[in-house]
Amino acid sequence: MACPEFIRVSVMSVIDKIRTAKSPLFTFELLPPLKGHSIERVYSTIDRLMEFSPAYINFTSHRNETVYRERPDGLLEKKVVRKRPGTFALAAAVKYKYNITVVPHVLCGGFTKEETENVLIEMNFLGIDDVLALRGDPPRGSRSFIPEKDGHSYTSELVGQIVDMNNGKYLEDSLQDTAPTSFCIGVAGYPEKNFEAPNRQVDLENLKIKVDAGASYIVTQMFFDNRKFFRFRDECRSIGIDVPVIAGIKPISALNDINLLPQTFHIDMPNDLVVALRKCTNDNEAREVGIEWAVQQSKELIAEGVPGIHYYTLGRSDNVARIVKAAF
C-alpha cells in the first residue's frame, strides 16, 4: 500500500495575523498530554474552542526532570524523566488536523545549542514556522537556572540562534548551500516583573534585549489587574519596544488558586478578587468568580485595543469558551 502524500498546509505567521487583523485575536495555550495519555484529550479541548476561530494555539514544552525512586533494597535510584513529551509532534498533528497556526515553545533549559538546532530543523521540515522562545524554569528543586553545557543562558541568545537560522547560518560553519528558515519568534513579558529581576527597570531592559535580538511580538505572563498590563505596555513603548504586546489571562478555576497562583507565578491578585474568592465554599463557586473576572478583564482589554488575548487553559476549555463567548 502506498503511503499517503504529505500535504504542506500554508498558514499565516503570528505576526502577519496580528498585522492584518481587524479586531483583537483570540488565542490559547495547551499542555502536551502526560506520558501514556492519548492525544484525543487535546483534540477534545480544541474542538470545544474552534467555534470561536482561534488565531493560533500555543503548546508548552517541558524539560527533563530528575526524580529519585526507591529500589527494592531501600536505596534511592536517580532517574531522568520527561513527563510531558511530544510538544513538536503534537503541534504538527494539530496544525494538519485543524489547518491552524501552531506555536510550540522552545526552551533554553534542558537543551544544548545543537539539540535546539535539530529541533528547529525538524519543525521547519514539518512546516511549523512559529515559535515562542523562553528560557524556562530552573530544574525542580533548584532556585537558580543552570543552562546545559553548550546551552543558552538567556532567551536573547536563543532568539539569536533562531534568527541566524533564518539567515541560513547554522552552528557548523562548513555547511554549504544552507537553506534559511522562516521562523516568526515570540517572547514572554512580565507586567508585574520577572521574580528573578532585581527591579522593573532591569526587567524591561532585559525584555528589550530579547526584542532587539529579533523577536516579533510579546505575550505576557498572566495578570489579574489590567492597570498593571497597561502600565507595562506604556513602559515598553517608553524604552523603544514597539512590537505588539499580547495580553495573557489565566481564569481562576479552583479555590486553591488564590494561594497557588501567587506562589507559583509571583503575581498579585486585586483585593476585590480575593474578597470574592474568600466567599466561595467550593471549586465550582470559585470557577464562576474566575469566569466573571476574566470576562470583565477581557472586555476592558478589547476596548483598549489590545492586539490579542492569550488564554492559559491548563487543559480546561469550558470556562474559556464561556469567557470568549461573552467578551469577544
Q: Mean per-residue pLDDT for 273-301? A: 98
Whether the per-residue pLDDT at 1 is higher than 60: the answer is no
Domain limits, the chain: 15-327
Residue type, 155: T
Question: pTM to 2 decimals?
Answer: 0.91
pLDDT attached to residue 82: 65
Q: For residues 192 and 267, is the Cβ–Cβ distance under 8 A?
A: yes
Q: Who's near 141: CB < 8 A, 6+ residues apart?
A: 66
Strand-strand pairing, 245-249 and 101-107:
unpaired
Q: What is the pLDDT of residue 9?
A: 61
pLDDT for 2 equals 45
Region 51-76: mean pLDDT is 81
3-state SS class at 3: coil
pLDDT bracket for residue 79 (50, 70, 90)? low
> Sorting pLDDT into bands at 50, 70 and 90, what band is 321?
very high
Q: Is the confidence at residue 267, as pLDDT, over 90? A: yes
Across the range 94-110, mean pLDDT stands at 96
- In the structure, what pLDDT confidence band is assigned to residue 316 with cuts at 50, 70 and 90? confident
Percent of the chain having pLDDT more than 90? 82
Say what the alpha-carbon torsion angle 121, 125, 131, 136 is, to the nearest 10 degrees: -40
CATH number attached to the domain at 15-327: 3.20.20.220
Binning pLDDT at 50, 70 and 90, where does residue 8 land?
A: low
* Of the listed ranges 58-62, 151-155, 181-185, the one predicted with least confidence: 58-62
* 142-151, 207-216, 307-316: range with lowest mean pLDDT: 142-151
**Amino acid, single-letter form, for residue 59:** F
Rounded distance between C-alpha atoms, residue 293 and residue 270, angstroms: 11
How far is Cα of residue 227 from the mean position of the Cα atoms in its chain?
A: 22
Range from 81-90, 153-162, 313-322 carrying the lowest mean pLDDT: 81-90
Let me know if 96 is exposed, middle or buried by CB neighbors in 10 A (0-12, 13-18, 19+).
Answer: middle
Q: Give the three cell numbers for residue 141.
A: 528543586
**What does the DSSP 8-state code read for residue 306?**
-
Average pLDDT on 10-39 reads: 94
Q: What pLDDT does residue 5 have?
A: 46
Question: What mean pLDDT is predicted for residues 126-145?
Answer: 86
Distance in angstroms (rounded) separating the CA atoms of residues 219 and 303: 18
Cell 481562576 belongs to residue: 252
Q: Residue 238 pLDDT > 90, yes or no?
A: yes
Nearest 5°: CA angle at 108, between 30 and 82?
A: 55
Q: How far are the Cα atoms of 94, 194, 259, 284, 325 from residue 319, in angstroms, in the given order?
A: 21, 27, 20, 11, 10
Residue 81: the pLDDT is 61
Cβ neighbours, 10 Å, residue 316: 16
Task: Kindly state the average pLDDT of the residues 137-156.
Answer: 84
- Name the pairing type of β-strands 65-70 and 76-81: antiparallel
Q: Which residues neighbour 226 within 8 Å (Cβ) at sequence distance 6 or greater? A: 297, 300, 301, 304
Position 71 confidence tier, pLDDT thresholds 50, 70, 90? confident
Q: What is the average pLDDT score of the chain?
A: 92
pLDDT tens column, 158-197: 999 999 999 999 999 999 999 999 999 999 999 999 999 9
Ramachandran assignment for 278, one of left (phi > 0), alpha (psi -120 to 50 degrees), beta (any other): alpha
DSSP-derived secondary structure letter, 151: B
